[in-house]
Amino acid sequence: MKKVQMTETPPVVIPRRKRKPIARQTKILGKKARKAVENDSIQAVFRTTCDLKCLDKFTSSEVLEKRRYFWDKDRDVQRQYIMSQLEATFNYQEQDACNIMFTVQGHSVCPKCWRLIFAISKSRYYSALSDVRKGLATASPDHRKDLCYDTKRFLAAKLWLTRFTRRFGDPMPHRVQIQLPSTLTKRAIWQEYQEEFSMNGSIYLKYNRFLQMWSEHFNHVTIPKCKDFTQCKDCLDYQNAMLCKPSKEEQKELKEGLKAHLNLQSLSREKYYRHISKARENPEKYSSIIIDNMDQQKSSLPAFPRQSKADVGLTRMKHHVTGVLDHGNEKSYAYVWNSALPGDCNVTCTVLLTVLQRIAQSKGGGLPEVLYIQGTTALKTTRT
C-alpha cells in the first residue's frame, strides 16, 4: 500500500470589516439660529456703517464661523458667554459702557459691531449688561428654554371641539363628565371638523393629532355605548339602521338625517338656555320652569344596597318622583306619589299649579307676564 502524505493547509484569515465611523449628530438649529447663519443675514452685516469701520477687518466666512460658534450653544450658555465677555472687557479697560471695545480675533470692535458679528439682539445685550453692572457673576437661568407652544391650528381645533361639546354634549349631574350622543364616533366628529375647516380654506389637524388633543384636553368628554339615562328614539332608530349594513347612498341619507336631528336638538337646547337667562336676569317679567318624572326603576321601595337572589322576584311598592326646577327663583321641588294615583297628565298639572302658587306667594300674590315650560314629550304626561 502506498503511504499518503498529509499536508497541513494554512488557516484562512478572514479580514475584519472596517466599521463605518458613526456620524456625529449635529445640533438642529432653531428659527433664530437658522436666520443668523443665512447668507443674506451675513451680507446685511457689512452694509451697516460704523465710524471706526470695525467690520472692514472681517470677511463673511469669519462672521459665519463666529455665528456658528455662538448659536450652537444653549440659550443659558449663550447668555453666560455674553456676560463673561462684558466682565472681561470691564475688568481690563475700566471704562464706561459706551466707550468699551471688544476684541475679536485680535481686532478691536465697538459694541454695535460686536453684536452684529454674533447676531445678538440689542435688548439681549443690554439685559446682560445690566446684570454685569449689578455684580451678578452668573447668568440667571432662562425658563423659556424647552417650552412647547401650541400652534394656531391646534388652538383652532381646540376651540372648535369646545363649541361642539357645548352644543351637543350633556353634562352629567352626578359627576364631572360630558356625554356626547352615542350615535357619534370620534372619526365622525373629526370628519365634520375637517369638512368645516376645508370649506373655510383653513388648515386642520390630522386624525391622530386630533385624537391626541382629545385625550390631553378633553378627557372628560366621552361617547358612551349606552347612556345612563333614557335615549332618544330617533338616535336608537339610526343605530339600528346602521347595524343592517346599508349601502353608501343609504348611509349618506342616514347621516344627513342624524345631522339634522342633532342640529334641531342643539337649537332646542340653546332656546331653553336663553329662556333660563331671561328668567334669571328679569324674574319679574319672565319665569322658566322645567318639569320631568324620575325613572321608576330607581324609585321602587324597598331599595337594598345589596340584593340577594331571593329578593329579586319580590314585588316592590312603586313610587313616582316628579321634579321641578324654577330657574328664575333658583329653587327646586320634588313631589312623590304612588301607584294609587293614575300616572297621567293630571299629576303633571297638579304639580305645575302647586309650583305656580309658590311662585306667586314669593312675589306677593302676582305671577310674571311670560311663563316658559320645558317638559317631556311623552303623551302620557303631556296629553291635555
pLDDT tens-place string over residues 97-130: 556 788 888 888 888 888 889 999 988 888 888 8
Q: How many residues does the chain have?
A: 384
Residue whose cell numbers read 472692514: 56
d(C-alpha 284, C-alpha 2), whole Å: 132
What is the tens place of the pLDDT at every residue in 264-317? 888 888 888 888 888 888 888 888 888 888 766 667 777 777 777 777 777 777
Are the CB atoms for 170 and 182 separated by under 8 Å? Answer: no
Residue whose cell numbers read 443690554: 126
Phi, psi of 184 (to 5 degrees): -90, 160
Residue whose cell numbers read 326646577: 325
Question: What single-letter DSSP state applies at residue 173?
Answer: S
Share of the chain above pLDDT 90, in %: 11
Domain boundaries, the chain: 31-133, 152-229, 234-270, 282-306+313-382
The number of helix segments (H) and strand segments (E) in the chain equals 13, 9
Average pLDDT, the chain: 79
Are the CB atoms for 109 and 103 separated by under 8 Å? Answer: yes
Burial of 87 (0-12, 13-18, 19+ CB in 10 A): middle
Could you tell me whether strands 102-104 and 107-109 are parallel, antiparallel, or unpaired per DSSP bridges?
Answer: antiparallel
Total-model pTM:
0.49
